[in-house]
Amino acid sequence: MDILRSLGHPEEVFNLIKFKLGGCKSVMPSLDLVSMAPSLRTCYRYLNQTSRSFAAVIQALDGELRDAVCIFYLVLRALDTVEDDMTIPSAAKVPMLRDFHSFLYQHEWSYSLSNEKDRQVLEDFPTISLEFRKLAKIYRDVIGDICQRMGAGMAEVLQKKVGSMQEWDQYCHYVAGLVGIGLSRLFAASGLEDVVVGEDVALANSMGLFLQKTNIIRDYLEDTRDRREFWPQEAWSKYAGSLSDLARPENLCAAVGCLNELVTNALGHVPDVLTYLSRLRNQSVFNFCAIPQVMAIATLSACYNNPAVFGGVVKIRKGQAVTLMMDATSLASVRAMMLQYAQEIQRCIPPDDPSATQTRDIVLRIKAMSRAGASSSSSSGGGDSGDAQEEEEVNGRHQGTGFMSPLSLTMGMVLAALGWQYWATVQGVAAKYLQGL
């Protein structure tokens, strides 16, 4: 069942969780669907139907940024649906990808031959493009530019397998880094964030690459079964004759070595993630950015040195996901979570792993940044997202072997008071985040 579709207003639950545990000073208002134009209301319905990760946090964004990001997401979802549809011949798909940005200004353009599950965003693209054209020019310029660059990039890599590590970065840039860059420019254009957030392309790119590489690592089995190869050949060729050979039982030891190498590479983006988050000042933007990032590092920790990646999809626990969602509302808390998972990975590094030295180096860097940031926040008596007392509480909360701490008991008491309906709702929203990572 599509839990977001059945809930109607998943952002209300998301805000309620944060409010009950002190993440926000007040509950953010829910969407005023009644006063919306029918076409915009339809766009939010499509958002809830197609977004596996971001529906709740998009709808919790402040002001006009919310509509801009909603339309940005749907435009890129439509573009990605074209790219994913293997029934569209390359001769038709390549020019469609390259020209897709122009369809934003063609009032009647739509595509009705897709077999993908999200085909409604192509079939009813006129509704999405209508709302795009209603946005302020500053938002339209960003969305149109990113759509054009992403479409060109997708067309370029459409028939190429990912070879070198550099090509892996390039592929992830086209499909995710550009999203991070576009979002950052939208944040700055809205006035909710400083101009530097939209100008620092390298940090924004890392935000996208960290999420995309986590997706690729975790989804090894599903992708190889669909004959899609996203793990870079430069890495897997050291350990097996073909990418699919990594899943053979006799190759699991070598496969884990390849897995650890890619996790280590992905972890290299965490310092940029922490720097990026430290620059954000708007609470709704911070939540939007921070939650997927802590979900990603939790997923990487679960995948690291874990042969189960080659036998299925490794997932973090739903209860753990709920706690991450509730806690990722301050920089102090995010630093503590990054530190926690870095320590978990450090404890699992095999002495004879081919990437052991590199893994230790990046883990130590993450730990140093997390601790240095915490010390700076404490000594300044404020700043970032909390004071010294908050820092102490957060560090205490996240020490130990896991996240099922006294906070979980508090969560249970709160949810019990709210009723079992809210408990089912929270689990559903958390499950959506897990599926989308």
pTM as predicted: 0.79
Instruction: Compute the distance between CA of residue 277 and CA of residue 111 in angstroms, rounded to an integer.
Output: 38
Query: Of the given ranges (156-170, 256-270, 287-301, 338-352), which has the lowest mean pLDDT?
Result: 156-170
Annotation says 288 is catalytic = yes
Q: Confidence band (pLDDT; 50, 70, 90) for 10?
A: very low
Q: Any idea which residue has 């979900």 for tokens?
A: 295
228 is catalytic: yes
Q: Among 52, 228, 365, 371, which one carries the catalytic annotation?
A: 228
Choice among 77, 185, 218, 397 that is catalytic: 218
- Active-site residue among 44, 288, 304, 403? 288
Which residues fall within 8 angstroms of residue 193, CB to CB, at 6 or more apart? Answer: 184, 187, 279, 280, 281, 282, 285
pLDDT at 437: 44
Residue 58: predicted pLDDT: 86
46 part of the active site? no
Q: Which helix (H) or strand (E) holds 376?
A: helix 356-380
- What does the pLDDT look like over 179-200, one tens digit per residue? 999 999 999 999 999 999 999 9
Among residues of the chain, what percentage have pLDDT more than 70?
77
Residue 131 has pLDDT above 60, yes or no: yes
In the set 72, 111, 171, 174, the catalytic residue is 171
Whether the CB-CB separation of 68 and 190 falls below 8 Å is answered with: yes
Residue 49 CA: distances (Å) to CA of 43, 57, 58, 124, 248: 10, 14, 13, 13, 36
218 is catalytic: yes
Provide the pLDDT for residue 375.
59
**What's the average model confidence in pLDDT over 114-121?**
89
Banded pLDDT at 324 (limits 50, 70, 90): confident
Indicate if the pLDDT at residue 32 is higher than 70: no
What is the per-residue pLDDT for 30? 58
Confidence of residue 374 (pLDDT cuts 50, 70, 90): low
List pLDDT tens digits, range 256-307: 999 999 999 999 999 999 999 999 999 989 998 999 999 999 999 999 999 9
